Amino acid sequence: MKLFKYSFLAASLVTLAACSDSSNSVVEVQPKSFDAEGNGYISVGITLPTTTTPGTRANDTFDDGTEDEYAVGDAYLLLFNGAENAAEASATFCGIYPLQTNPFSKHASDQITTESQVTTKIDGQYITQDKLYAYVILNPNGVISGYNASDPSTFTFTTTEGNQAISTATTFGDFSKYTLPASVINNGRGRLFMMTNAALTTKIGGLVGSTPEQGTPYTLATLDMTKIYPTATQAEDNPAGHIDVERVAVKVTVTTDQTALQGHNDVTFSDFAWQLGNTNKTFYNTKQFEKRWLALYAGQTTGYAEGTPLAATIKRFASGATLANDAEHAEAVRTYWGVDPNYDTDIADFSTIFDNPGIAAGNYTFTSGQNAYTTENTLDVAHQSFQNTTYVGISLKFNDGNDFYIIDNYGRSNILQLSKDDGYTGNAQTIKDYFLDVYLANNQEVQDFITGEEGEANPTKKDNIVFKMAQDETTGVATIASIAPAAGLTFTPTLAAALNVQELNNAVTIKYYKGGLSYYDVRIKHFGAGGTTTAEGETGCETPWFANIHDINSVEYVYQKWNNAGTSTGYTVAEQEQNFLGRYGVLRNNWYDIKVDGVREIGDPVPRIPDGTPDDELEKYISVKIHILPWAVRTQRVIL
Are residues 74 and 54 located together in one domain of the fold? yes
pLDDT digits over 55-86, tens only?
444 455 555 677 778 888 899 999 999 999 99
pLDDT digits over 27-65, tens only?
444 434 645 555 578 888 888 876 554 444 445 555 567
Secondary structure class of 471 (helix, strand, coil) = strand
| Count of domains forming the chain | 3
Are residues 258 and 348 located together in one domain of the fold? yes
The whole-model pTM stands at: 0.87
Q: What is the mean pLDDT of residues 428-445?
A: 94
Sign of the C-alpha dihedral, residues 331, 197, 380, 637? negative
Domain span holding position 109 = 2-199+219-247
Q: Has residue 319 got a pLDDT over 50?
A: yes
Residue 131 covered by a domain: yes
CATH of the domain at 381: 2.60.40
Higher pLDDT, 556 or 166: 166
For 399, phi then psi, to 5°, come to 55, 35
H helices present in 242-384, as ranges: none
Lowest mean pLDDT among 160-169, 200-209, 462-471, 523-532: 523-532
Residue 610 covered by a domain: yes
Q: Calculate the average pLDDT of the chain.
A: 81
Are residues 109 and 157 located together in one domain of the fold? yes
Radius of gyration (C-alpha) of the chain in whole angstroms: 31
Are residues 242 and 261 located together in one domain of the fold? no
Are residues 10 and 60 located together in one domain of the fold? yes
Are residues 369 and 487 located together in one domain of the fold? no
Residue 78 covered by a domain: yes
**Residues in a beta bridge with 586:** 377
Q: What is the pLDDT of residue 564?
A: 39
Residue 295 covered by a domain: no
Side chain identity, residue 119: T
Containing 460, the helix (H) or strand (E) segment is none
Residue 144 covered by a domain: yes
Are residues 89 and 171 located together in one domain of the fold? yes
Are residues 130 and 28 located together in one domain of the fold? yes
Q: Has residue 448 got a pLDDT over 80?
A: yes
Are residues 441 and 533 located together in one domain of the fold? no
> What percentage of the chain exceeds 70 in pLDDT?
74
Q: What is the pLDDT of residue 5?
A: 31
Sign of the C-alpha dihedral, residues 542, 543, 549, 553? negative
Q: What is the mean pLDDT of residues 178-199?
A: 90
Q: How far is CA 67 from CA 22, 191, 356, 383, in A?
A: 48, 9, 29, 36
Are residues 75 and 103 located together in one domain of the fold? yes
CATH of the domain at 112: 2.60.40.2580
Q: Has residue 252 got a pLDDT over 80?
A: yes
Residue 254 covered by a domain: yes
Q: How many C-beta neighbours within 10 Å does residue 312 have? A: 21
Q: Has residue 367 got a pLDDT over 50?
A: yes
Pairing status of strand 200-201 against strand 333-335: antiparallel
Are residues 239 and 91 located together in one domain of the fold? yes
Are residues 29 and 109 located together in one domain of the fold? yes
pLDDT digits over 503-520, tens only?
999 999 999 999 999 999
Question: Cα(first)–Cα(last) distance of the chain, in Å?
Answer: 33
Residue 81 covered by a domain: yes
